[in-house]
Structures are given as structure tokens and as C-alpha cells.
Structure 1
Amino acid sequence: MTSRPDGSLLIAARFMNSPRSNAPNTLPTNPDVVIIGGGIVGLATALTLMRRNRSLSICVVEAESHVAAHQSGHNSGVLHSGIYYKPGSVKAITCRTGKAMMEAFCDEHHIPWDRCGKVVVATNASEVERLEAIAQRATANGVSFDRIDTDTLRKLEPAVAGIAALHVPETGIVNYATVCEAMRSEVLRGGNNVVLSFKVTKIETFADSLAIIDDQDRTIHCGRMINCAGLQSDRILRLAGAEPTVKIVPFRGEYYELVPRSEHLCRNLIYPVPDPSFPFLGVHFTRMIDGGVECGPNAVLALSRHGYDWRTFNSRDFIETLGYGGFRKLARTYWRTGLGEIHRSLRKAAFVSALQKLIPSIRAADLKTGRSGVRAQAVTPAGSLVDDFLIHSTQHAIHVLNAPSPAATASLAIAAQILDRFDSIDGKEVSLPGVVR
């Protein structure tokens, strides 16, 4: 494969004239590019590649029976502003760019979204210092915000208690599962394929092509492959013949929802000041675009890469996590934090107590059990959490090994970053640039 002067992709001629079908779930013959993973990053990559070069044939394969089955369909639905991220980092840049692209995509496809705004609330003196550091990052990242006093805070969110806050009016909400369905439809309308229930179990590499084989021995031959498999991304890399330098460790985030009579407690989005030593934002309140208010999430080790509750256990996943030296080092560092998260998971009263830090009047009766999601967190052998986007390449393939929040917001901008590197990366691991904690 070579690059054209305009940066678009030219695939080996033997694949250029392969037949296409836009019929749902049709197994294609010799597509130019196979994208593994029907989440938002995979679909955004397919859509961006299709728009860059209409002559390419593209096939997205997804192991589940529908797109957005995991992280993309189980997140909080926030259109992030980019307020938290290190200035100049790829997370900051792609979030800002990607948010505008996502809003435009939603307008184009008549997908409901709302720029409702959020408050980031400090409840003690130490948090006020950290809040100021966030304000400085916001300024550097070009994020509009206002420092607000307690009177203004209570006008915006009457139930919230805090001693200082930032108001970020451009933060929004959307349903990313709806976004994924729209992306899937556009990829199909472009004459390309989205194949569901295609669980990749083997990858064969040839001089100028790849064979992607699933658990039913179905095979797709292609010129190039992009791995956007999320929770399975490190395993796909291994199938492609490389040993990952990180491992995916699944963390489950659990939510409660406000019961209808208590939804007045949160008007839009209410966030705490995050702990800078931990890449999770803490329990917060999120008004959802389809109605209702979510409260959470916590962050507990999942017993399966698809472990959405304590009952779901996969011995392979669990043994692989416990046997990984990087996870054991991580656990030694954060064991107190981990125990606190487990405590909040198992005891509703502990979860309520965490929420009362922001809304003191909230009670257990105000909450009902909500959904949960599993985050694919890349962990290094040294026990560090990879906090930025991480890419690796193998022969004919590129692999997205870490795409943490704000990946959904930034997905269209991330796709552009992936494709900009599609020809230039040759067996090298690249963090864009990676920030490791």
C-alpha cells in the first residue's frame, strides 16, 4: 500500500476491484480494508476512510449481534469539552476537534444532542487548588468556562453544595449508541459492509494481504486491517503475530439513576474535582439525552472483559488479569482506592454517601439501580495506567490498544489520527503521545 500525494490510501491493485454489497451482514469478497470492532472508534474510522477515498472497499466486523455492544453503548453519553486534559496532548486536541465534528455529524443525521453545560464542584480547600489547576488547563485548551461563586452555583444547581466551582457551558450530552447506528448506516450506504456476529479467532499474514478468520471458519481476505476491538484489542494484536507491551484490564463502572420524583436534584451535569492520581473522574450526576439522570460510576475490577455485574465470571479473563505482573503492581499501589470502590459497589449506602458529597440531600430512596459499563484500560508491565491513545502496528495492520475517555467524543478526530498514520507506522508502538500514570 502506498500514499497518494493528498494523503488518501491506495491499496494493492488485486483488491481494488473486489465486488461490494451494502446488504446488511453480507460477507464480502476481498475488501481493501477490514476494521475489527463495531464500536464508535471502529465505525468512525470506517466512515472517515470512506469519505477520504470512495474507491476503497471497507468491511467492519463485529463479534456481537449489534454495533456499540460494549463501551460505546454503555458510557455516560457526555460530549466532553476537553477541560481536564494536559494542554497539547492528543487527548486535548482530539477532544476539542472531535467534539465539533461529532456535533456536526449529529446535526447532519438529525441525532438529538444538547449543549447543556456542567459544573465542576470543589467541596473543600484542597479541591479548590485542584480546581484552579483545571481552570488553567481549560484556558490553555481553549475551553470556555466561568469561575462561579456559591450563589451562582446554586442558581444553576440548587441542590449542590460546594465552596467553589467552574461552569463549563459547552459540555453536552448525546446517545452514542444512536450515533453508532447512524455511522453504520452511512458506511452501508457507501457500498461497504458491516458484518455482525463475526468473532475473530485467527489472523493469517501473507506477503501482500491478510486472512481474517472467525469462530465459524468464515474467512475474509483483505489488503489491510485496523484493530479497534476495544476490550479485545490486545488479543487481536497477538493474533496478528505481535506480543502486546500492555494488557487490557477490564474495570466496571456501575450507575444508579434518580427515580423520577427526584430528578429535580440535578438539572444538567454535576462533577466533582477529579483525583489527579487516578484516571477516573469520580462519581457524578449526568442528565441523559433520552431522559433521566445517572449517578456514578464507580470503578471496580470486572471478573470478565464483558463482566457487567458481579455474577458474570470468565475464568480465562480473570486468570489472565491476576497473572499479569502489571496488574499486581497496580493493585499494590491502589489497593486502598480499590477497596473503597468495591465497598461502594456492594453497599448502596456507601454509594449514596459518595453522592452526598455533591448533593447532601440525596437519600437511598432517591436512587434505583441503573446500568453498568466495562472500560478497557491498558496497563503497562510497570503497573501504570495508560492515560492517552496508544497505537501499535504489525504487517499490513494498525492496532488501537488504548482509547480512553474522551474517545467517544473525539472518535472522528481519532479516526483521522489513525488514518494519518496508516501508511507511516511500521511495526512501532506509538502513543499519540501517551501519558502513563
Structure 2
Amino acid sequence: MSEQATAGDLDQRYGAALLPVFGAPQKVLARGTGVHVWDTDGKQYLDLLAGIAVNSLGHAHPALLAAITKQAETLGHVSNFFASAPQIELAEKLLELAQAPEGSGVFFANSGAEANEAAFKIARRTGRPRILALTSSFHGRTMGALALTSKEAYRAPFEPLPGGVEFLEAGDEQALEAALAPGDVAAVFAEPIQGEAGVRPLGEDYLRALRRLTREHGTLLVLDEVQTGVGRTGRWFAHQAIEGLQPDVMTLAKGLGGGFPVGAVVCFGPEAHDLLQPGQHGTTFGGNPLASAAGLAVLGTILEDGLLEHVRTVGEGFTREVLALGHPLIAGVRGQGLLLGIALSEPLAKPLAAAALEAGFIVNAPDESTLRLAPPLIITDTELATFTAALPGLLDAVAARAASTPEGEH
């Protein structure tokens, strides 16, 4: 970037050069270190979103930089006509961490949507015509993943979508049992915590019911751990908080590469493993040596630095501190580990996220009444405390502004 380029210049160039699918960018960011980033004007922000649960180790982490650099010096990309040692090692490590039984296997992709596309095709290979997903689900924007995503605003512009998908009310065990009863459901797709719905956990009882009923009816249970996996909730994978719960298929991405694009599908046991046969699916970039080296560095650092326990401890402490504020606009905190949603008693999440950004905090409003935090797993109590201290003032300012704004104005 030219030293003379200003944020305004870059905003204008962005609008002229990129498709408008994301709208205008909130800021133009220039660099990052640890849990902080800086924009092109030199302003510092505490990154409490981590690229939407992606930057597991924060920004410019030395272990990730060293792994990618070392791998780039030897072998970057080879296509899947060939294998590489990092690809094999990453697959083996994921199977180990997932406690997958013998006969399990991994398919590598580049993103969460691609991982869910592969899982969709695995479900199709059962020969059964129906697939179930849940209300408020989000599984991606590509056509197959979008067919599994319930939000009408995302779906409507692209219909007809791939067929055979039905939506059930999340948490309704009777509806689930009735839908599975005919015995023709290929798979049920579910997120242990629905991140885009406002960080809403499905809950242990419903997840256990999903596992029991799908097993009874010979249906695959596909857990989308794209946002919840790789230590985000204080477990390697969110479902591991429930003893004995294991899916048939699990999809991963986001935090797995720590910022380098990589996704994965883990098939548990030979039945799911063997559904996709040679030539029935593929990818050019998935699991290439660079992506695999990044994934190994992330997993290795989480293990070596004890980040799973750290995430649980820091997340629990932050939740206590936010609730202890006793602010009337804070209705609760949902989620696990460092995937947290601050529930608001008024629909002020979007202006609150904007106010937080101007105050130097990057957060997100997945809906009108939830503020989502998914910071780097390395964040400390002290760093989070700066946001907790600022939160009451931000809430008061946003509430005062809303009260003084005539209805209908924005």
C-alpha cells in the first residue's frame, strides 16, 4: 500500500474495485499483533471478534508465522494428485483430538461452506431423500450450504436451492422424532451453538436426543463445528463437553488455520468414511502443504500453551464480570468458552457494536439484541477487562441516543 493512501482513498477504491456483497467496510485495517489491530489512520483496536472466530492465536503469532514460512520455503502447493507429510499429519492429529474410532477419515477443504458442501454430498450418498436442518441455522453461502441455512433473506434470491431439506424448530424433540420416524432421513445437520443466530446453545438434552434418535433411525448426525471447534469453547470440539456424544460427521474451518484458509470434514467410523468414493468429490487447494502446516501450528500451540483451560477460565471470568455489572440493558450472557453472546433487553446491538468500534473495540451484532464476542484464544483477563469497564458507558450512550431519536429515524 502506498504510504500516501488514506482511509478515504482506500474506501473509494474498494467501492470501485470490489463487488458490493459486503457493503461498505467499517474500517480499513493495516496491521495486527496479538489481540490488537490498527487501521490505516493508526488507531488501535482490541480485536474481540478474531475475524469471526478465525484468528485463534491472534495476529502475527510467531508459531504460525514460522510454520507457514518454513513450509513455503519447501513445498507450497502440489494438488491432490499427490500427498504431503503435513496433510497426513494434520489429518492424523484431528482424528486423535476428535477421539475418532478406527476406520475414520478426514477430507480437507478451504472453508466452512466447502466442508458443509462435502458433508451434504456424503448425506446424499446414503440414498435417502430427506435432510433435516434446524431453524436459525447457518451453514454457509454456497448453494448446498445455503440449502441447509434457514434464514429466508439469504435463501430467497437464489431459489430454487438443492431440494430435500426440511427445517425443524431447534430444541423440539417431539418434532425431531416425528420427522425421523419414516426412516428416510439421510442426515440431521446441527451447530452445537448457533453462532449467527445470536450465540444460542442447543443444550445438552437436545444434543443427546439428536444423537439417540438419529442412531435409532439409521440417520447421520452431522455437527457443524465450523465456529465452535478448535478450542473456541474450551474443548477441542464443543460436543466433547457432553460425555459420550460423538457425531457421524463433523465439519471444521475458521479457527483451524488461525487465519490461513482451511476446512475439514471428519467422518467417524467406516460407515461414514466409505460413503464418498474416488472421483465423487474433490478440491484443488484443500489440505495443501501450506494450509496443513498452518493447521498443525494452531493445534500444536493450543496444546503446548494450555489454551483449552485458559479459554474456559477466561470465558467464565468474563461472563461473571459482565453479569456483575448489573446493567439494566444486560439480560444475560450465552455461550461457552470464548464464543459468547451478551443478550440485551433492548434491540440496541447494532448501534452498540458501532459505538464499541469507535471506542476501540471490535465486536459484532449477529442480531438486534445480541453482542457477539469471539476473541483470539490467547486473550487475557486484563485485556477483556478493558471492554467490561467500557461497556456500561457504551450502553448508556447508545440508549440515550436511541431515546432521543424520533421513531423511524436512523
TM-score (norm 2): 0.28
Length-normalised TM-score, structure 1: 0.26
Larger proportion of strand: 1
Q: Which has the higher helix share?
A: 2
